[in-house]
Every structure is written in C-alpha cells, then in structure tokens.
A = this chain, B = another copy of it.
Amino acid sequence: MMTKRYSEDELISKLFSPIAGPEALGLADDAALMAVRDKPLVLTTDMLVAGVHFFAQDPPELIAKKALRVNLSDLAAKGAVPQGFLLSIALPMDWSNDWLESFARGLGEDAQDFAVPLLGGDTSSTSGPVAISITAIGTVETFVARRGARVGDGVYVSGPIGEAALGLWLRENPERLETLPLEARDSLLARYLLPRPRLDLIPLLTGAANAAMDISDGLVGDLAKLTRVSGVSAEVTISDIPLSLAALQLIALKPKLFELALTGGDDYEILFTAGADFSPPKGIWRIGSVTAGSNPPELRDGEGKSVFFKKNSYRHF
C-alpha cells in the first residue's frame, strides 16, 4: 500500500524550508524579500522537462542539481555571483515522498555547496511529465555580455566539448555501452547527468573576456549566436577544440559522432573571446579567432579545409 504523501504544507516545511535563506521568510509568505544590493542584478531562468532535458527515471538528486546548475552556469558566464534562486515544480500524478525527498536532498546539497539559498517557489500537479523551472539571481561587478566580441579576439573554451552529448547518445544507444572502456562510459554518462557550472571562472571572465556565454546548445551553434549578436564572424580550427579521452574513445569507435560532440548540447563549459594580450591559463583552450563579417563561423580542419555540419545545435522546435 502507498504511504500517505506529503501535503503541500508538509513538503514546503519539511523538504524545502531547510534549503531556504532568510530572504525566503520561511517560505511562509507570498514572496521573498531581498535587501538592496550595491551591485547590478543578473537574472536568468531555465525550465527542465522530463523526457526532454533528462530521463524521468534519472536519480532525483541529480535532476534537482542539473536544474539548479544550468541556471548557475548562465550566471557564471556573465561573471555574476549567485545570490539565490526560486523553484517551480509541477509534479506528475505518480510522484512519491521518496522521489521528492531525494530531489530536495540533491537541491539542498547544491544550494549549500554553491552558497545559493532557495528564495521562494511554487508546487503544482500536472497530468504530464515533471517540469522544473528555476530562476536564479546573481550580482555582478562587471557584466560579461554575449555581444562584446571584437575582430582580432581569440576564441576560447573552458574545457572539453561534447562529453554530455555523447553521454546522451549512449543513453539512447545502450547497445554501444559494451564497446567502451568502463571509465569512458562512466565519464560520458555522468557528464550528461550532472553539469558543472563554471563559477570558478568568474574572476577570469570579468577580468579578461570581451564576450562570453555558456555552451548549452552545442559549441558550433552557440558560437554562431555569439558572433551574430556581436556583429562579427570567426574562424575555428576544429583540431584545436579540446576533447576528453572518453569522448575520443567513443568517436574512434564511431567517427560520425565527432559532429555530435561539436554540435550537441549540455556542455556547460564557457565560450568566450578575449583580446590579443590575453594569455590563457591552464585549462583554457584557444580554438580560433574573431574575424570581420557577418557570416556564421567558419570551421576548418587541421589542413585549413572548410568543414560543414548538417545541424549546428540542439533545438526544441
């Protein structure tokens, strides 16, 4: 027999209140109250839906963390320090206390680890899959816009590209799991489940970047967005794009996946441009240059030959 499920009041007081900051007023008011901040505010929102952004059967702790982290990743890309977040969640008919307890536990761990309290929220039911919408708020010293790329800038990425997209591909093609070394498999699958928001890069970005964004819909398409809003173009040498050993091992088995690695989503690394005087520290890769013009970025292989992909990024529609 099913145990009695939490009431709305219980799930707020038992599961979510411990994650809340003082601004949340105990999650017992209509709204959160935040003191005046002496720095500009940065606001972002992302919604994750089961069957689209994650699998319904994924561990609820990781679903919660992913929902928060994709928002923190947006703040990081702008050079903004997270200050808090609001959560709306629509629960499917068959939600259980266990599921929601795990979800809240994961959310609470990340809220603590990233020092970002829950400010408020809303719970609803739905006849469809679980849907989670988070709005994150941060403060910024120097906002790093997406539209600031200048001709002559170098184009940089903050880490290996494509692991998450390859991890998702493995989820959808489980018969290929056997063909990969165990560590490679684990690394790709974990990367899809749990992105890492690059909050550690805030000082670097605010100090050096002319333009930045987080890579959420695929490197190639996201770079095209960045150059378009900046009114510039770019040249990228695809052999300079960092790939992890795990990604290379899978691509070696199925070379067509190279394209997916560069155009699939969910990297949550930072793509940025910086002036000629910038010398990238360890862990930052230069993959190309900003050029004049309004064409989409040109991709070249190691021999300078142009490379074209069928699809540049992940799209919902």
Within 8 A of B (CB), among A35-91: 35-49, 51-53, 74-75, 77-78, 80, 84, 86-91
A75 & B146 in contact (Cβ 8 Å cutoff): no
Residues of B within 8 A of A128 (CB): 49, 92, 126-129, 131
- Chain A interfacial residues counted at CB < 8 A: 73
How many of these chains are in the complex?
2
How many angstroms between the C-alpha atoms of A299 and B153 in the bound complex? 70
Whether the Cβ atoms of A33 and B120 lie closer than 8 Å is no
Residues of A within 8 A of B (CB): 5-8, 11, 25-26, 28-49, 51-53, 74-75, 77-78, 80, 84, 86-92, 119-129, 131, 133, 135, 137-138, 140, 143, 145-147, 213-214, 225, 229, 315-317
Q: Do residues A45 and B122 form an inter-chain contact, with CB atoms below 8 A?
A: yes
Q: Are B131 and A29 in contact (CB under 8 A)?
A: no
Report whether A33 and B143 are in contact in the complex, using a CB–CB cutoff of 8 Å: yes
In the docked arrangement, what's the CA distance between A137 and B42, Å?
12
Contact A6 B43 (CB under 8 A): no
Cross-chain contact B90 with A131 (CB below 8 angstroms): yes
**Contact at B43–A74, with CB atoms within 8 Å?**
no
